[in-house]
Chains A and B, each alone.
Chain A
């Protein structure tokens, strides 16, 4: 029934189609790219997009094909965003559900830690962590993941608080189930819904954060392509070659939009109040 409702929600479906397109691009890029995305070609610097040369999105200041770099950068952005979200989600959810379930002093301590992490604007925290750890791709995952820990902790704690005194939990406990059994087999499956929405929205922000970091030179390092560092390179030449800035930016916008549409559509399906308003 849920799947049926999902296919009828045009917003969520648009998001799914967009994300599927990007995944298709990644799959293609594993086996075939129009040009080599990292090798320079001094014969064809800053060529405008054209069909006859084969550079559909033009070339950059080193003569590299922009379409090929966008395709390659797609997997970089997605892998970093997914890993960072996974890192933040796993740690944050574990913190949140323990805090919500145990309550009392544990709850207090865990949520104070989350509050402290919440006291930094997300981009600032990510920049700060990158400045400390140094510009390596894995560190980007860590820097973005840390931003998500308090967010997932709050969402999952709130959700646990909402259901932990329900009948089925009492029933499980009176059957002699252990705390961790109740948490992971009874409570966690019941709060998956808000968590999935949070994951989808987090992925969209992760892509923006990764591209911002790479744009500032603190993320994925050139010559390896990421959408953010392509835009960073484009800044110097975009006045004479606007295509170097336009296409990588559009690649970011549509993928982020895809995750936002999916998250928004899912939230609609899951929030009965909003469903009735529609």
Chain B
């Protein structure tokens, strides 16, 4: 197992390297330099003054050198300064990260507790009509735009106090219950699509497992129905579901960007949107880097959990 973990950790390096290259060079594609954007349209500078400014800001070197310097600063935790507020980027991101993470985890939790039982139930009632209805409901869940669902929730619950955060957000450390209540609807809006995915995977996986010989054996030895389903079938059927849930957690983070905007939650997504509207590129760069890194890490953790539960994976991959 140790060897497998090391191997997977090492495989992160080229991916994160690639991510940093994309983030760095895409921002370089923007017409006009960061310097011109920093100065805005009010200030005029002669070409000589611009050269001088470039030298002061360290922008006068060739691009590859700039990239190496940039990565060097990133590794020391220096993500640059906001063009609008002049504040360092990283502390602003870090202070907003907990809300987005909480939202994501809660959405994942809701998706699991809705999706898995639904999937099991629909795998047991295998009548064609019920089955088709179940699948259509599942596909409908996948087809709902999250932001629309969120907007409808705001509309429907605006009369109920405490369910819609709208500006007065309460931190978990201040009042946990109130915090969870406020994040419930936003998490539901983010998680419902994943719940549909999990339901489908659970169902398909259960259907496959229920056909196995050992299930027949378990039934034949007279075990109770729920024991066969939960202890024998579910335990094996849940494996692919874990993977799917894990790999989709990163997408929940992406969904949080839009949902935070609809519910006016002061998370990282909202910071990103305002940075985009104001063309505050260092902030955008920082957030994209943080989210992509989290995304890669979540996928790694998923892989490790999977390898931990299923020895075939780590033996095969580790042995190669």
Contact = CB atoms under 8 A, between A and B. Distances in A.
Nearest to B156: A242
Interface in A85-119: 112-113, 115-117, 119
Nearest to B261: A216
B200 to A, nearest CB: 9
Contacts of B284: 128, 131
A246 B147 CA distance: 12
Q: Which 6 residue pairs are nearest across A and B when measured between Cβ atoms? A: A121-B254, A116-B18, A256-B143, A123-B254, A249-B148, A257-B143
Contact of A257 (B18, B27, B139): B139
Nearest to A121: B254
Nearest to B21: A116
Interface of A: 10-11, 14, 112-113, 115-117, 119-124, 127-133, 204, 208, 211-212, 215-218, 231, 234-235, 238-239, 242, 245-246, 249, 252-254, 256-257, 260-261, 264, 273-274, 277-278
- Which of A130, A204, A257 has the most chain B CB atoms inside 10 A of its CB? A257
B145 A239 contact: no
Given A116-B19, A119-B15, A277-B208, A127 B276 contact: yes
A115 B288 contact: no
Nearest to A276: B211
Counting chain B residues whose Cβ lies within 8 A of the other chain, the interface size class is 35 or more
B253 interface: yes
Interface of B: 14-16, 18-19, 21-23, 26-27, 29-30, 128, 131-132, 135-136, 139-140, 142-148, 151-152, 155, 158, 204, 207-208, 211, 250-251, 253-255, 257-258, 261-262, 272-273, 276-277, 279, 284, 288, 291-292, 295-296
Contacts of B250: 121
A231 B147 contact: yes
B185 to A, nearest CB: 16
Given A115-B18, A252-B148, A121 B251 contact: yes
Given A124-B257, A252-B145, 10 more contacts: A14-B136, A117-B22, A124-B291, A216-B273, A239-B155, A245-B151, A252-B148, A253-B143, A253-B145, A257-B139
Nearest to A132: B26
Given A112-B18, A129-B26, A122 B254 contact: yes
Given A113-B18, A116-B22, A127 B140 contact: no
Given A119-B292, A124-B254, A264 B152 contact: no
A122 B251 contact: yes
B155 A208 contact: no
- Which of A10, A132, A231, A242 has the most chain B CB atoms inside 10 A of its CB? A132
A257 B288 CA distance: 30
5 contacts: A14-B136, A116-B22, A122-B251, A231-B151, A256-B142
